Amino acid sequence: MLWDRVLNWMEAPSEVMRGNKHAVGVGVSGKVGGSAGVPFVAKGSVEASATGRYGSETESQRTFARAGIDQVVREIAGSDYVVFIDDFHYMTADVQKDVARQIKEAAEKNVSICTASVPHRADDVVRSNVELRGRVKAIDFDYWTNAEVAEIGRRGFEALNLAVPAELIEQLASEAFGSPQLMQQMCLQTCYYFDHYERSVTRQFASVGSNALKSIFEITSTTTDFSSLLDALHAGPKQRGTTRNQFKFVDGSSGDVYRCILLAIQRDPSQLSFTYDDIYQRTRNVCEGDSPPGSSVAQALEQLETISNTIQPTAPVVEWSEDVLDIVDPYFLFYLRGSNRLSSIRKS
C-alpha cells in the first residue's frame, strides 16, 4: 500500500501500545492524645495526626495500528517534505486508479506529492483520475538532445587531448538516443579502441572509418546485453497448430513477422517511438516481395509487449498502446542496432 511505504520511510512503527495506570485504595486518618511517656514534655497533652492508604493499582493497555493516510497527514502535511512516487507508469491500470484517488485525497489535505513517469506516459496520473486535471503541474524531463549528448564527447575528448572528428562525435550522439550514460560508454570504448587511457602530453588524432565505428558499437553493446530478450522477441510466442508465414528480407535472411518487425525497428533512421503507420511501412521496406499484412503486424506488436513484460516484468522495454510502439529503454534500441545478435540468429 502506498501510505505504508511512506510510513516505512518515516520509520514509523507498525503498531504502538499505550497504557494508563489506575490506583484504587482507601485513605484513613486519626488523632492520638496524651502526655504520658513523651520525653522532654513535663505536662500538657500531645496530639498527633496519622494518615494511611492501602489498596491496589491496575494498568490498561491499548494497541494502535498505523493510520495510513491520516497518519501521514498528521506527520508531514504543510511541511517541506514531499512524497515521491517513482515509476508510476509501471503500475497496472487498476493500481494507478487507486493510487491517483489517494493522491487527490492527500493533496486536498496539504500533502505535497511528486510522481515520476517516462516521457511518453507522463499523463498517466491525470488519466487515472480526471479530477486531478488542473490540480497537477507537469515538469518535463525529456531525453537529452543530440547537441547536448554530443557535448559530452567534445569536452571529454578535449580533456584527454584526443582530437576526434566532429562527424564521429555526431554519429556517437545519434546512437545514444538521448542517454548521457550511453554516450559516455561509447566515448570510453572509443578511447580504448585507440589505446588512449589518459591525457596525452602531445595532441593525438583519431581517424575512424566505418569498420572502426562498427567495432566500437559492438564492444559497447556487450555492456548493454539484451540477448535473452532479443531472442525471445525474435522467436515470438509459442506456436500452436499452423506455422507462421515466412518472408524474405533485404539483408538476405528469411523469417516470420517477428523478425520482420525487429528488422524494421533496427532500420535507419533510428527512433524510439513509432506510429502503427510508421512501423507498417518499415516492415514493407525490409521485405523482398511479399510482406506481412497489417493485421498480422498489429497482433505481433501486441505480443512483443507481452513477451517483453514476461522477460523483464519490473523494467518494460517495449510498449504497444493506442497504435504507438515505444522503445522504453534506449539501451535496448542501441543493442538491437549496435550488436550482431539479430544477424547471428538469422535464417538464410
The reported pLDDT for the residue numbered 130 is 80
Q: Are 326 and 275 spatial neighbours (Cβ–Cβ below 8 Å)?
A: no
Q: Which three cell numbers stand for residue 98?
A: 487507486
> For the chain, what is the largest distance between any 2 Cα atoms, rounded to a whole number of angstroms?
137
Of 49-53, 154-158, 170-174, 277-281, which gets the smallest average pLDDT? 49-53
Pick from 162-176, 204-218, 317-331, 333-347: least confident: 204-218
DSSP states of 36-82? TT-TT--SS-EEEEEEEEEEEEEEEEEEEE--THHHHHHHHTTSS-E
Q: How does residue 280 score in pLDDT terms, banded at 50, 70 and 90?
A: very high
**pLDDT of the residue at 112:** 86
Same domain, 196 and 247: no
Residue 19: which pLDDT band, with cuts at 50, 70 and 90? low
Give the pLDDT band of residue 49 (cuts 50, 70, 90).
very low
Closest to 271 (Cα-Cα) out of 184, 150, 178? 178
pLDDT at position 101 is 86
- What does DSSP assign to residue 200? -
Q: 149 or 38, which is more confident?
A: 149
State the Cα angle at 231 between 225 and 233, rounded to 5°.
110
* Tens digits of residue pLDDT in 23-42: 555 444 444 444 444 333 34
pTM: 0.69
Question: Does residue 321 or residue 1 have the better pLDDT?
Answer: 321
Residue 47 has pLDDT above 50, yes or no: no
Of 26-35, 118-127, 133-142, 274-283, minimum mean pLDDT range: 26-35
Higher pLDDT pick, 86 / 335:
335
At which of 115, 141, 167 does a domain end? Answer: 141
Same domain (yes/no): 154, 122? no
Whether the per-residue pLDDT at 284 is higher than 60: the answer is: yes
- Residue 98 in contact with residue 106, Cβ under 8 Å? no
Q: Where are the alpha helices (DSSP H) in the chain?
A: 2-9, 69-76, 93-108, 124-128, 146-159, 166-174, 180-193, 210-221, 227-235, 257-266, 276-285, 294-311, 330-338, 341-344
The share of the chain scoring above pLDDT 70, in percent, equals 82
In a domain, 296, yes or no: yes
Is residue 46 pLDDT above 90, yes or no? no
> What pLDDT shows up at residue 17?
63
β-bridge partners, 27: 53
C-alpha distances (whole Å) from 240 to each of 94, 243, 244, 247, 304 are 31, 8, 10, 19, 17
Nearest Cα to Cα of residue 121 among 280, 335, 324, 271: 324
Q: Is a pLDDT exceeding 90 seen at residue 237?
A: yes
Q: Any idea which of 87-91, 193-197, 317-321, 342-346 has the lowest mean pLDDT?
A: 87-91
DSSP string, 221-275: HTTS--HHHHHHHHH-SPP-SSPPP-EEBTTS-EE-HHHHHHHHHHSSSP-SEEE
Pair 3, 119 in one domain: yes
Average pLDDT over residues 331-341: 95
Residue 36 counted as domain residue: no
Residue 252 located in a structural domain = yes
Please report the pLDDT score of residue 318 as a whole number. Answer: 92
Residue 116 domain flag: yes
Among 9-23, 193-207, 265-279, top mean pLDDT goes to 265-279
The pLDDT assigned to 279 comes to 96
Average pLDDT over residues 76-84: 85
pLDDT value at 135 more than 70: yes
Instruction: Kindly state whether residues 135 and 3 are assigned to the same domain.
Output: yes
- 340 within some domain: yes
Do 176 and 236 sit in the same domain of this protein? no
**Which residues form the domain of 295?**
227-344
> Residue 106 — pLDDT band, cuts 50, 70, 90?
confident
Task: Please tell me the predicted confidence (pLDDT) of residue 33.
Answer: 46
The tally of domains found in the chain comes to: 3
Higher pLDDT among residues 330 and 313, named by residue: 330
Q: Say how far apart CA 257 and CA 235 lie, in whole Å.
A: 10
Asked if residue 37 belongs to a domain, the reply is no
Same domain, 158 and 179: yes
C-alpha separations of 30 from 41, 47, 82, 261 in Å: 22, 10, 66, 103
Residues 187 and 231 occupy one common structural domain: no
14 and 128 part of one domain: yes
Of 89, 110, 141, the one marking the end of a domain is 141
Residue 183 shares a structural domain with residue 311: no
Same domain, residue pair 269 and 336: yes
The mean predicted confidence, pLDDT, of the chain is 83
C-alpha closest to that of 103 among 122, 121, 88 = 88
Residue 295 falls inside a structural domain: yes
pLDDT, position 182: 96
Q: Which of 35-39, 156-160, 167-171, 176-180 has the lowest mean pLDDT?
A: 35-39
pLDDT at 72 (0 to 100)? 81
Residue 241 is assigned to a structural domain of this protein: yes
Domain stop point among 200, 221, 242: 221
Judge if 66 and 121 occupy the same domain.
yes
Identify residue 60 by its one-letter amino acid code: S
186 and 122 inside one domain: no
